[in-house]
Amino acid sequence: MGTFKKPAALLLPAVLLMTLLAGCQSDSAAPAATPSAEPTTEAVATAAPEATPGATEAAAAEPTPAASAGSPEAIKEGTIEKEGNVVLKELAFVYKDQTIALSDIVDDAKLESMLGKATAKKSHTYSLDDGKNMDTLIGRTENTYTFPGLEIKTIDSGDGKQFYIFNMKITDPKYTTVRNIKVGDSLDTLKKAYPEGKLTGDGAPEEEDDFRFAPSNYVDYMLFHVKGAKIESISISTLLD
């Protein structure tokens, strides 16, 4: 019996030691989870600043419309829609919030709705013996409308049904260009509004001269007749084939 009691006495401390070691291991495992949780928080915190530059770039892209707002106001293309005609939007005049542009398709009713009833209208159909020597226009009809301080000429597109504006002459300040230039304005004011244009003559302000503005070609243009350093008339025209 004495032989069995001695090993039993030795096993008891061993069991207690193993229990203590297991407890220490479980305690040491718990703090180990904490560091693994902390990097997760740091990763989230790190991700947030990375998103910030993207937001900054997006914000930097937003001011583009605001920047364009500082540029000259976009010009209306004409009250009557035209197919893809962007150049002619400059060659127009404004009257009572209506914009009428070169090459607008018009008829009596449309012009009257925007400008009131014409004081006069005359028509001419080109022919071989009309003495005008416009062979390319033979068979086509030209209409001339007269309004107070304004004359508008239209010509049919070849089918005898649709008429488009090919010439407008303004002599009254109530009709302004899309850049707000009118009859009676000074030559200096005109030059500031149309820096792309130029005087066709010697440019002496005391004499008569024409100031020509052609936004893209020499077929469609605006001509300001200047006399005594002031605008006397404004012509908006396109050359007919």
152 & 207 share domain: yes
Cα 239 from Cα 74, distance rounded (Å)? 26
Report pLDDT digits (tens) over 191-234: 999 999 999 986 565 678 999 999 877 789 999 999 999 999 99
Is residue 10 in a domain?
no
Q: Which one of 6, 33, 66 terminates a domain?
A: 66
Q: What is the pLDDT of residue 61?
A: 39
**Is residue 106 within 8 Å of 163, Cβ to Cβ?**
yes
Report pLDDT digits (tens) over 152-170: 999 998 877 899 999 999 9
Number of domains in the chain: 2
Q: What is the pLDDT of residue 202?
A: 67
Report pLDDT digits (tens) over 43-53: 434 444 444 44
Q: Tell me the chain's radius of gyration from C-alpha atoms.
A: 42
pLDDT of 5 > 70? The answer is: no
105 burial level (CB within 10 Å; 0-12, 13-18, 19+): middle
119 & 229 share domain: yes
Is residue 82 in a domain?
no
Please tell me which residue, 33 or 233, carries the higher pLDDT value. Answer: 233
Is residue 152 in a domain?
yes
What mean pLDDT value characterizes the chain? 75
Q: Which of 8-22, 28-42, 55-69 has the highest mean pLDDT?
A: 8-22
The pLDDT confidence band at residue 63, using thresholds 50, 70 and 90, is: very low
**Is residue 182 within 8 Å of 194, Cβ to Cβ?**
no
Q: What is the pLDDT of residue 138?
A: 92
Q: Nearest CA to 99 among 112, 117, 115, 87?
A: 115
210 & 137 share domain: yes
> The domain containing residue 137 runs over which residues?
87-238
Report pLDDT digits (tens) over 102-142: 999 999 999 999 999 999 999 999 999 988 888 889 999 99
Can you spell out the DSSP letters for 114-171?
HH---SEEEEEE--TTSSS--GGGTT-EEEEEEETTEEEEEEE-SSSS-EEEEEEEE-
Q: What is the pLDDT of residue 161?
A: 82
Backbone angles phi, psi at 225, to 5 degrees: -85, 120
pTM to 2 decimal places: 0.64
Please tell me which residue, 156 or 67, carries the higher pLDDT value. Answer: 156
101 & 186 share domain: yes
Report pLDDT digits (tens) over 68-90: 333 333 343 344 444 445 556 78
95 & 203 share domain: yes
39 & 97 share domain: no
